[in-house]
Chain A
Amino acid sequence: MRLPDWAKSRWVVVPLSAAACIAAWNGYVVLNAGGVVEGRVVDGAGRPVPGATVILLERNFITHNERQRTTTDAAGRFRFTGNDNHSLQLEAESAPLGRSDRRLVRLMFRAENVTLAEPLRFAGRLP
C-alpha cells in the first residue's frame, strides 16, 4: 500500500509522531498514577526498624508541608496511599533513634507509584 504524498510530509509526520508520543506517555501515566509511596526504614546497621513513624511532606510551591503519617510494620516497611503530588519529602522518627535524614523524592508525574530504592536510614542503632 502506497501512502499519499501528503501523508509523508514533515508537516504531517512530525505532529503525528509528537501526538503518538504524548498519547503513549499519557497511557503510561494513567497506568502508574496510583498515588502509592512505599519503602523501608532501617537503623545504622541496616536492620529494619518496626514501629517508626514515617512522615510524608508534599511540596507546596516553595515549601514542604506535612501531609500524612504512617507507622512501619515488623519488617520496617511503610506504605502511603493517596499521594497526589510530584515532589515529596520523607522522614522517619522513632523514640530510641531520633530522626532520620529527610529524603527528597521527585516523581515524573503527580501520584506516580514509587518504591524507594534506598531505605530511610537512622544514624543510630537499635539496642
Chain B
Amino acid sequence: MRRRSLLLLRHACLAMLSCAMLVPFYWVVKTAITGENIYAYPPRILPQNPHLFNFVDVWYLIPFPRYLLNSLIVSALVVAGNVVLNAMAGYALTKNFAGKQAVLLLLLSSMLVPFQATIIPAYLITARLGLLNSYLGLALPLLSAIVCIFIFKAAFEAVPQSLIDAARIDGLGEARIVLLVLMPLSKAAVATNVILAFIWSWNAFLWPLIITRDPSMQTLPLGLARFLSYLEDTTGALYAFAVMVLAPSIFVFLMAQKEFIRGLTSGATKG
C-alpha cells in the first residue's frame, strides 16, 4: 500500500512537472487563438472567445504557402543528405584504417567550432559553386552533421560483425551491406538523424538569411522575422505564425519519438 502511494505521488509530481514544461507552449497556442495581450494583468488561464482567424491572416497576408514549400524542400534535401552521407561516414568510421584516430579527433574538434565562425568560407564556397539563392545552396552546410555521424557509428558498431561477414560472403558490396544489412538494423539511428536534421534545417535562420536574395526563396524562420517587422502589434497573428512554423517539426518528433529516444540513449552508452 505504501509503495503504491509512493508510486502515485511520484507520478503526480512528474505529471505536474510535465505540465509546467508545457506552459510556454500552451501560452503560445492560447495567444494564437485569442489574440490577447500577453502582458495583460491579471493573466487569463483559459482562452476567451477562441477563434482561428489569426491563422487565416497569416496564411493570406504573407506568402506563407511559398515559405512553407521552401522550408519543406530544403528540409527534405537536408534529411536525405544527412541519412545518406552520415551513414556512409559512420560506416567508414567503424573500420580500422591508418589515421582513424586523427580523423576522429578532427571531427570531434570540428564540433567545437561554431557555425558563425565558418559562415564566410561557407558562403564563398557556395558562391563559387553557383548555388547562392538556390535550394541546394540553402541545404548545403546542413547536409551532414558530425553528431549524427557518431550516432550512426555507434549504431553500426552494435551490429554483430558476423552478420556483416555473412553478407560479404553472400557477395554484397560495402554499399549494399550498409543499405540492406546495417540500415534496417539501425532504425533508431535513422529516426534520430531524420528528426535532428529536420529540426535543424527547419529552424535555420542565419544561413538562409545570408544566402537568399529573392524573397520567394525565403524559408519560414525568415518569413517570421519579416512578419514581425511588418505587424509588430498583432500579437495573435504573430503567435499563430509561430504555431504554424512549429507544428511540422512537432509532428515529425511525435511520429518518431520512440526511435529518437532509443537512438540517443543507445548512442549514449557506447564508448
Contact = CB atoms under 8 A, between A and B. Distances in A.
Of A18, A86, A107, A110, most B-chain CB atoms within 10 Å? A86
Given A11-B255, A61-B230, A106 B61 contact: no
Interface string B212-243: 00000000000000000011000000000000
Contact of A87 (B51, B57, B251): B57
B53 interface: yes
Contacts of B52: 108
B41 interface: no
A18 B255 CA distance: 13
Per DSSP, chain B at the interface is helix
Contacts of A14: 251, 255
Interface residues of A, number: 13
Contacts of B255: 10-11, 14
Interface in B51-71: 51-53, 56-57, 60-61
B109 to A, nearest CB: 36
Nearest to A107: B56
Nearest to B255: A10
Contacts of A87: 53, 56-57
A102 B233 CA distance: 21
A55 B256 CA distance: 52
Interface in B114-157: none
A45 B231 CA distance: 40
A109 B56 contact: yes
Given A10-B255, A11-B255, A14-B255, A62 B56 contact: no
Question: 5 shortest A-B CB distances, which residue pairs?
Answer: A106-B53, A10-B255, A86-B60, A14-B255, A86-B56
Interface of A: 10-11, 14, 18, 61-62, 86-87, 106-110
19 contacts: A10-B256, A11-B255, A11-B256, A18-B251, A61-B61, A61-B230, A62-B230, A62-B231, A86-B56, A86-B57, A86-B60, A87-B53, A87-B56, A87-B57, A106-B56, A108-B52, A108-B53, A108-B56, A109-B56
